[in-house]
Amino acid sequence: MEQITLETLNAADRKTFMAAIGEVMELAPWVAEETFAKRPFASIAALYQAMTDAVGNAPPERRQALINGHPDLAGKAAREGNLTADSTAEQAAAGLDKLSEQELADFHRLNDAYRAKFGMPFIVCVRRHGKDSILREFERRLKNDAAAERQLKEIYQPVLDRKFKCPVHSPSCPDVPPPAWLVTTINSAELIKHASNSFLALKISYANMVSDLAERLGADIGEVVRAMGMDPRIGSSFLSAGLGFGGFCLPKDLQAFVHLAERSGVDFTMLREVEKINKKRIDHFFEKLRSALWVVRGKQVGVLGLAFKPNTDDVRFAPAIDLVNHLLGEGARIRAYDPEAMERARAILPQIEYAKTPYDAAKDAEALLIATEWDEFRKLDWDRIRDVMARPLIVDGRNLLSPREMKDKGFEYRSFGRPD
């Protein structure tokens, strides 16, 4: 991987990095310029960490070597009036030599606490702060952090105590263990969200690849993932094969995580493959439809589900929307139904017909596609739906229904990873 230095950064990255150094370190930017301009690093993050480590955490002899190794450093400092030419390395770093033994102990105690909270030391230049303000600033930062923690816990206390009116479950939430209260650094918190959602996306794409293999081998993906989910190390959630994931969180967090990794010099090709697999699900589903209909153009097609998941009206990045656009591109005539998402869908798909009921969506259709796993679709009068369809063909993109039951009712039935 190509190494970077401050000199190889583009203007925007260089300005951002130098501003960050100036703000966090409260040291003049020349410290970074003179010390790190030539030294190569794998990423901006690595360069930044080296800066904070060198100035804030290095032992005295290393700090002295830092200055001695760059003859112009002390001279430039003197010219700027920030430090004297004969300043010790301790003075150059933070003026720690001015603290008493007890104050120095307090300084390190607070510095360690600040690093634990924010992932970096808080270094104060002696040109701006004396020994008293150093300690006061540390105390202020830590008190603010503690206050923020208390305020957040107060906000979430009804959730932690499970004493709130749930807008989803009625009359009460399922009986599950209460949520945990976890306090982390800001950097860890951001990474937790990206890592968690990316892992869920990975599980979905993994299930879809196993589903494709199951089709080739004559296995049943339902049986496979059910057995896998019994292993407590794996769990059964997010192992459903089908059209893939959508919505605003998983795709966005996946892309952000990949971008973050690349900027930090970490090769996360695995997540690129997760995204690639997910994008191919619509094509795979459409091939199932094409193999049954042969010609899609001009055919009446019903679509059940437009939201990216059940129990929401959110259609952002919904696989169902991509599927409808694909059908329109092939010249199909579409009548769609969703319990909650049709108003939002109309804004982006005004050219299709919207049905008042699932039965209206199925009327005269030569194929009925299930694109969202709404529970109410399981409970439909499927005999009635068969009777109103021009051809009783179901292509189930969510493996919502039983292949055997649907065939017993006289349907042609196609799904993912299960024997037809």
The CATH number that applies at residue 198 is 1.10.1040.10
> Does residue 351 share a domain with residue 331?
yes
> Among 316, 313, 293, 276, which residue's Cα sits nearest to residue 369?
293
Q: What is the predicted pLDDT for the residue at 25?
A: 43
Q: Residue 129: give the domain boundaries.
A: 6-138
Q: What is the predicted pLDDT for the residue at 102?
A: 64
Could you tell me if residue 204 is inside a domain?
Answer: yes
Place of tokens 């150093």: 134
Q: What is the predicted pLDDT for the residue at 45?
A: 52
Could you tell me if residue 177 is inside a domain?
Answer: no
Q: Which two tokens stand for residue 385?
A: 């739906």
> Does residue 398 share a domain with residue 316?
yes
> Does residue 259 share a domain with residue 313?
no
> Among 285, 234, 396, which residue's Cα sits nearest to residue 225?
234
> Does residue 261 share a domain with residue 365?
no
> Does residue 22 share a domain with residue 114?
yes
> Does residue 308 share a domain with residue 267?
no
Q: Which two tokens stand for residue 47?
A: 């360069």
- What's 366's domain CATH number? 3.40.50.720
> Among 324, 315, 378, 367, which residue's Cα sits nearest to residue 342?
315
Could you tell me if residue 13 is inside a domain?
Answer: yes
Q: What is the predicted pLDDT for the residue at 384?
A: 97
* Structural domain count, the chain: 3
> Among 57, 183, 185, 9, which residue's Cα sits nearest to residue 20?
9
Question: Could you tell me the strand order of the sheet in which 353-354 lies?
Answer: 353-354, 333-337, 300-304, 367-370, 393-396, 412-414
- Predicted confidence pLDDT, tens digits, the chain (420 residues): 345 455 555 666 565 555 544 443 443 343 444 444 445 555 545 555 555 454 444 444 444 444 343 333 333 333 333 333 333 333 334 445 555 666 566 656 666 665 555 444 444 333 334 445 555 655 666 666 777 788 888 888 888 888 877 777 777 777 888 888 888 877 788 899 999 999 999 999 999 999 999 999 999 999 999 999 999 999 999 999 999 999 988 999 999 899 888 888 889 999 999 999 999 999 999 999 999 999 999 999 999 999 999 999 999 999 999 999 999 999 999 999 999 999 999 999 999 999 999 999 999 999 999 999 999 999 999 999 999 999 999 999 999 999 999 999 999 999 999 987
Could you tell me if residue 200 is inside a domain?
Answer: yes
> Does residue 304 share a domain with residue 371?
yes
CA 112 to mean position of chain CA atoms: 30
Place of tokens 């196609």: 414
Find the farthest-apart pair of alpha carbons in the chain and give their distance in angstroms, rounded. Answer: 94
Helices (H) and strands (E) in the chain, counts: 19, 6
> Among 255, 246, 241, 267, which residue's Cα sits nearest to residue 198?
255
Could you tell me if residue 66 is inside a domain?
Answer: yes
CA 341, 343, 344, 347 dihedral sign is positive
Could you tell me if residue 181 is inside a domain?
Answer: no
Q: How far, in Å, CA of 357 to CA of 295, rounded? A: 27
> Among 110, 79, 107, which residue's Cα sits nearest to residue 93?
107
pTM score: 0.66
- Helices 186-217 and 249-263, packing angle to 10 deg: 110
Strands 393-396, 367-370: pairing is parallel
Of 75, 104, 138, at which residue does a domain stop?
138
Place of tokens 């410290």: 31
Of 73, 105, 138, at which residue does a domain stop?
138
> Does residue 208 share a domain with residue 106?
no
State yes or no: is 173 an active-site residue.
Answer: no
> Does residue 12 share a domain with residue 134?
yes
Four-CA torsion 264, 270, 273, 278, nearest 10 degrees = -100
CB 338 within 8 A of CB 371: no
> Does residue 391 share a domain with residue 292?
yes
Could you tell me if residue 10 is inside a domain?
Answer: yes
> Among 102, 5, 122, which residue's Cα sits nearest to residue 52?
122
> Does residue 322 share a domain with residue 386?
yes
Q: How far, in Å, CA of 233 to CA of 51, rounded? A: 40
CA 89, 33, 42, 257 dihedral sign is positive
CA 393 to mean position of chain CA atoms: 37
Of 138, 155, 171, at which residue does a domain stop?
138
Could you tell me if residue 231 is inside a domain?
Answer: yes
> Does residue 216 share a domain with residue 331?
no
Q: Which two tokens stand for residue 163?
A: 């004493």
Catalytic member of 125, 166, 173, 249: 249
